[in-house]
Structure 1
Amino acid sequence: MKNLISFLLIFSLSAPIMAAGNCVQILSDNHSNDSRSYQVYDMDLEKDFDESPEEYSLEALNSLLSRLGCDSMSQKDEGEVVCKEIMPGNNFSKVCYLENELGYFFISKDMLDSVNIIYNRWD
């Protein structure tokens, strides 16, 4: 009985580490790609990119991770999001950058109904 309890305790403590590793494996197509592009549909998101691009980017990324079967990130794991216009004055050129334990992401919204997420894994 003690062995079972010890095993369950160790397993529960290592679950977040295993979940992150599993997400990296999923995002990188079993480590065969160092970067990969994904799309999420704007109509599936509640936030607005023009009003709050940082929150919108986090929501889009969590939506993607959920769709792929990864756990959503807790607030402490989300990482910092920085959004900037590549062409100053052109709102359509806005791109957000997010990095966390999974890798780093470039998130942008196109002129139609898609959010483009580029995943890059860490070395």
Structure 2
Amino acid sequence: MKIARLVLITSFLLVAVSQFTSASESTCIDNLTDGYTADSATHTLNINDLEIRDYGNDHVAFSIKIVRELLEEVGCRRNDVNFGRGSRGRSHSRCEQVLRGTPSSRVCYVESNLGYFFVTRDLLTNVHITFNRWD
């Protein structure tokens, strides 16, 4: 009897936590898309306004850090995003130069549980992040 009751309470707590996490992720997407008014949205951050260490040639790590900065700016919680999980299981993030030999043409694609992000830099200090939510 006590074991059945413990299992029932544990099951209830697991369901409640998963619903809370889902609601929190949904709120984060709402913040990123200005109230779901669009399926994608572009944001710009100025690197001079942020404290970001030098990631050298690890452009994916830099892009994930920039996305984290954006998420914090729009009011998302750190636990709302999971960069290891995409729409089809494990995420696949990468950076490529659109025009080989031209570093300014680099685009980074970052997958997460919320959706995917394109991260680009201009020739000054701005980073442009385009968020696209999963359908």
With normalisation by structure 2, the TM-score equals 0.75
Length, aligned pairs only: 119
Structure 1: gaps (5+ residues): none
Residues 60-69 or 99-108, more deviating: 99-108
Aligned 1:45-84 pairs, distance under 5 A: 45-48=51-54, 51-72=57-78, 73-74=81-82, 76-77=84-85, 79-84=91-96
Aligned 1:101-112 pairs, distance under 5 A: 101-112=113-124
| CA RMSD between the two structures | 2.3
Q: Does 1:36 align with 2:41?
A: yes
Structure 2: gaps (5+ residues): 1-8
Aligned match of 1:97: 109
In 1, Cα distance between the equivalents of 2:83 and 2:116? 16
1:11 to 13, 16, 32: 16
Which SS does the other structure have where 1:29 is aligned?
A: coil
Aligned match of 1:26: 31
Shift of 1:40: 1.7
Aligned match of 1:114: 126
Shift of 1:85: 0.1
Paired residues of 1:86 and 1:93 also in contact (CA < 8 A):
yes
Residue identity (%): 28
1:12-63: CA deviations, max 9, x gaps?
3422211111111111111111211101221314244652110000000000
In 2, Cα distance between the equivalents of 1:114 and 1:27? 18
With normalisation by structure 1, the TM-score equals 0.82
Q: Work out which of the two has the higher radius of gyration on C-alpha atoms and give 1 or 2.
A: 2
Shift of 1:122: 2.0
1:86 to 94, 98, 103: 98
